Amino acid sequence: MSADLSVSRRFVLRAGAAAVAAAMLAACQKQPSFKSTDVSGSDLGTDLSLDDFNGKPRSLQDFKGKALVVFFGFAQCPDVCPTALADLAQVRELLGPDRDRLQVVFVTVDPERDTPEVLRQYVTQFDPGFLALRGDDVATARVAKSFKVYYAKVPGKEPGSYTMDHTAGLYIYDPQGHLRLFARHTAGPEALASDIRQLL
């Protein structure tokens, strides 16, 4: 009888240990809890072939190894664009020692006014590590279509003046170059930093 109890006790102990090990493995494999919208596996954002403000051709391949945030806008944007870029500069600060593992790329939807020099001065005032891309009208339309980004010229009050309506969202890639998240421009630095930490 005591032998049976001993065998039974060993079985219970082994079963308990197996359950603990399974729980620990499950914890290690727990899916990340993102605050942004998970768009993993979508066909969005496969084309980012444009020149940077130094005239160097860029593509998604260039940013592998880092988390990448892509934002579409224009330098004369009065509110949404500067707010989003300021938030992203704060995200880099919140990442601390991992700040250089995040690349922010601003894509202009206003190549008519956003020359390479304008873009360089504009984005680097938020963070010296930020990069801006531009193309002609055809290239801009092609890349915007890949991201399903809407943009349109809106006439201003003065003759010949205009502003731009555009999609204001953040496209976030993991270091392997896969688009993983879409965030609203109002997400805030803390939420964005939390999501990016999980991707890193």
The two tokens of residue 150 are 């809407």
Does 178 lie in the same domain as 81? yes
81 annotated as belonging to a binding site for a ligand = yes
* Cα(108)–Cα(36) distance, integer angstroms: 23
**Residue 77 labeled ligand binder:** yes
pLDDT on residue 19? 47
Q: What is the pTM of this model?
A: 0.82
Same domain, 11 and 50: no
- Strand, helix or coil at 104? strand
Confidence of residue 56 (pLDDT cuts 50, 70, 90): very high
Q: 17 and 106: one domain?
A: no
Q: 176 and 127, same structural domain?
A: yes
- Which domain does 91 fall in, by range? 37-199
Question: Pairing mode, if any, of strands 162-166 and 169-173?
Answer: unpaired
Output the average pLDDT for the chain. 88
Question: Is 1 in the same domain as 80?
Answer: no
Would you state the pLDDT for residue 32? 72
98 against 29, higher pLDDT: 98
Q: Of 91, 86, 104, which Cα lies nearest the Cα of 197?
A: 91
Is 193 in the same domain as 137?
A: yes
